[in-house]
Chain A
Amino acid sequence: MDNKLYNLVTKEEKCYGCGNCVVACPVNAYNDPAVAGGKGPEQLDKVIMCVENGVIKILNMGLCKGCGTCIEECPDGAIGLEVNYTT
């Protein structure tokens, strides 16, 4: 997925594992009804990220459209968007 225009980058050392990004993400909520209702993902192949071992983990970068909702909802900058200008 490196040739995508946008890449999500995570900083695990800053993450609280609150899951704000997981639930706020519109792609996750659309693909997995459990996430839309605030729960952790039940269909791991259909969501972009989940909280694993207490910190955020990107699962399917290919689903991300680069809307940046997850970044707005992280108070500590544990998730960010990297623009790949070479694409």
Chain B
Amino acid sequence: MIEEKENIVCPFCGCLCDDGVVKVEDNKIVGTRNLCRIGHKKFESAQHGRAESPRIRKNGELVPVTLEEAFDKAAEILVNAERPLFYGWSATCAEATQVGCELTEACRGIIDCTATICHAPSIEAIQDQGAPLSTLGEVMNRADLILYWGCNPMHAHPRHMSRYSVYPRGFFRKRGRKSRTIMVFDPRRTDTAKLADLHVQISPASDHMLVHTFREILNSYDVTHETVAGIPADAIRETMEAMAQHQWCILFFGMGLTQQMGKDRNIDVAIQLMHELNKYIGIRTTLMPMRGHFNVAGANITICSETGYPFAVDFSRGYPRYLPGETSAMDVLYRGEVDAMLNIGANPGTSFSNRALSHMAKIPLINIEPHNQQLLQISDVVFSPAMVGIECEGTAYRMDNVPIKLRKVVEPPENRLPDVVILTEILKRVKELKGKGA
């Protein structure tokens, strides 16, 4: 008999849609409702292609071993390392990240999350300029001007527009889409741009100039160039005038802004623009990064609450140090400093550069990942955990930094422990070995 489990939170993207219905028959997921294509695929494929657990590399081959043996081996690798790297944390729960911070401190290693290659510039800019943030609920109820800059939610966060920002009828925006204006700033004609009232098709890598030009107009300076970022100056003035007709504005931005030339400086000026729109015109303005993994915001928040810094935290001196560009995952891998690595809730096999991966292939690698992925080829210890939000509970943070409790939908397969339990067992052994003076 098919059982419909309601109000299931989708553990895929930063939207964390909490109205999903998952159909379960004999502990098998057979269908979903209200979830987008990506969310459906996450649930549908959760029980297929699972990595055998646990395994250790012996004579070049990954061979199945007992959990105890795998815990011992992982602890031995971490204790013998001088500068271990603990990377990932975006597709696991906040509780696991807490244990991960303790493990990093015990091993005097470096902890970094996937934000290091996506929204780290946003976090640095927020540290520079402050963060005029809001929740997605406020956006739904108040926003009448929605700017999407360098992001394409129709592909990356498919339900973002229908669930939170554009289409819902809010308390002050009773007509939903008709009460709001959508502007998209993107060099490409994306599917999001097709739905916008205004698509500003800027030249690639010229976001910084365009934001500065908006600021020039706001601050009553003349725009001296005829075109900026491929847009005629008059069109930029008209866009600014159109923006000024609204009451409550939100800027959603993605990789197009954070990983372009300028990086955190792009977000710096975007925050200043939001501030000046508020100051000179009186539009209530906020901005929000479009976080990718379902708990990448939670990884930053948890690491920050545990160590004082949001990512790239180095414990090599026994106390936390934060030096992005120096202690971030890519940099320590490029310099070849890392002599052991633990990967959890991320897939560096597809997102890291060849140079970083070639160093990872040389060092002992502990991989905590439910499915068979590229990184298994160079892993030395492999754990296949229970999937957070599908096979075990946990806490995740939505892109607006709201914590949401993930629910258990089905029972995990045999020998699959939650990430928290795996990390706690490794931590226990590391402490024992450190106590013996290993």
Contacts and interface: CB of A to CB of B under 8 A. Distances in A.
B163 A54 contact: no
A38 B161 CA distance: 9
Given A36-B168, A39-B19, A73-B177, A55 B195 contact: no
A15 B177 CA distance: 20
B155 A16 contact: yes
B40 to A, nearest CB: 3
B37 A16 contact: yes
A53 B2 CA distance: 14
A42 B316 CA distance: 53
A38 B40 contact: no
A23 B38 CA distance: 18
B154 A18 contact: yes
A54 B36 contact: yes
A54 B40 contact: yes
The majority secondary structure among interface residues of chain A is loop
B39 interface: yes
Contacts of A16: 36-37, 154-155, 158, 191
A37 B168 contact: yes
Contacts of B192: 75
A40 B20 contact: yes
Contacts of A37: 140, 168-169
Contacts of A22: 162
B162 A18 contact: yes
Most buried by A among B20, B39, B41, B154: B154
B94 to A, nearest CB: 25
A20 B31 contact: no
Contacts of B36: 16-19, 51, 54
B164 interface: yes
A20 B34 contact: no
Contacts of A34: 19
Contact of B191 (A38, A41, A55, A76): A76
B35 A17 contact: yes
B36 to A, nearest CB: 4
Interface residues of A, number: 26
Contact of A23 (B32, B33, B155, B162): B162
Interface in B156-212: 158-159, 161-164, 166-169, 176-177, 191-192, 194-195
Nearest to A36: B169
A2 interface: no
Contact of B158 (A17, A24, A50, A73): A17
Interface in B73-121: none
A39 B167 contact: no
A37 B37 CA distance: 21
Nearest to B31: A53
Nearest to B6: A42
B21 interface: yes
Contacts of A51: 33-36
Contacts of A38: 140, 162-164, 167-168
A18 B158 contact: yes
B35 A54 contact: yes
Interface in A16-66: 16-20, 22-24, 29, 34, 36-41, 50-55
B33 A50 contact: yes
Contacts of B163: 19, 23, 38-39
B168 A23 contact: yes
A56 to B, nearest CB: 10
Interface in A71-85: 73, 75-76
Contacts of B162: 18-20, 22-24, 38
B168 A40 contact: no
A53 B161 CA distance: 19
Contacts of A76: 191
A24 B177 contact: yes
14 contacts: A18-B36, A19-B34, A19-B158, A24-B162, A38-B164, A40-B20, A40-B34, A52-B33, A53-B44, A54-B32, A54-B35, A55-B37, A75-B192, A76-B191
Report, nearest first, the 6 A-B pairs whose CB atoms are least far apart: A40-B34, A54-B40, A38-B168, A54-B37, A17-B36, A75-B191
Given A37-B169, A38-B167, 14 more contacts: A16-B37, A16-B155, A19-B158, A20-B166, A20-B167, A24-B162, A24-B176, A36-B176, A37-B140, A39-B34, A40-B19, A53-B40, A54-B44, A73-B167
